[in-house]
Amino acid sequence: MTAVIVIVAIVVVLVIAFVVMYNGLVRLRNRIDNAWSQIDVQLQRRHDLVPNLVETVKGYAAHERETLDAVVRARNAALEAQGPAAQAQAENVLTGALRQLFALAEAYPDLKANQNFLGLQEELTSTEDRVAYARQFYNDSVLNYNNRIQSVPSNLIANMFGFAPREYFEGDDEARGVPRVQF
């Protein structure tokens, strides 16, 4: 009788551990999905600001068509990107194009003094800060999730139920560089 109670107790403990690990993996996976949606919200805000910024600059720097077109192309590519890796790459190109646009603005004192331009630049800077925070939160969530699905014993449950590793939202070194502006 005592052996049966011990066996039942062990089975109950194992089932509880299984349920707790499975639910933990589900929570982490859902946190990543939520974090990604927060990045998406901030990126959409960024994408919405870009056309207004380009239109404002057009009036002052109409002959800088190549830079303005590069920003528009980069925005469109970012809107079409799917998944963290592709989205990160597209956003890095957009960041580089925007840096060129802001560097270009330095050559036009009237543009730098324009209240509309300054307001858009401030909004974009604020949005960049929000994107950076959301990206950090997303990457931290991915790290926790990937660690959990690769650690014993939760990796056994992760493999049984198809919990796959997630990609980080990473920047690249080219987007972090100083923009080149040629006149």
When mean pLDDT is compared across 5-9, 78-82, 101-105, the lowest value belongs to 101-105
pLDDT band, residue 182 (cuts 50/70/90) = very low
Assigned fold of 2-176: de novo design (two linked rop proteins) (1.20.1440)
Span 64-69, average pLDDT: 84
- Rounded CA-CA distance 136/107 in Å is 34
CB–CB of 136/130 below 8 Å? no
pLDDT at position 176, please? 45
Span 3-20, average pLDDT: 96
Tell me 162's DSSP state: T
Q: Indicate the helix (H) or strand (E) that contains 167.
A: none
User: Smallest Cα–Cα separation from 149: which of 133, 138, 160?
Assistant: 160
- Rounded CA-CA distance 49/115 in Å is 15
CB proximity list for 154: less than 8 A, separation 6 or greater: 21, 24, 25, 148
How much is the pTM? 0.79
When mean pLDDT is compared across 19-28, 123-132, 138-147, the lowest value belongs to 123-132
For the chain, the 3-state helix, strand and coil shares in percent, each to the nearest 5, are 85, 0, 15
When mean pLDDT is compared across 94-103, 161-170, 172-181, the lowest value belongs to 172-181
Please count the residues of the chain: 183
Query: Does 116 have pLDDT greater than 90?
Result: no
Tens of pLDDT, residue by residue over 21-45, are: 999 999 999 999 999 999 999 999 9
pLDDT band, residue 178 (cuts 50/70/90) = very low
User: Smallest Cα–Cα separation from 145: which of 127, 168, 129, 161?
Assistant: 168
pLDDT band, residue 165 (cuts 50/70/90) = very high
- Rounded CA-CA distance 177/1 in Å is 72
When mean pLDDT is compared across 32-46, 69-83, 102-116, 140-154, the lowest value belongs to 102-116
Domains of the chain, by residue range, sit at: 2-176
User: What is the average pLDDT value for the chain, to the nearest integer?
Assistant: 88
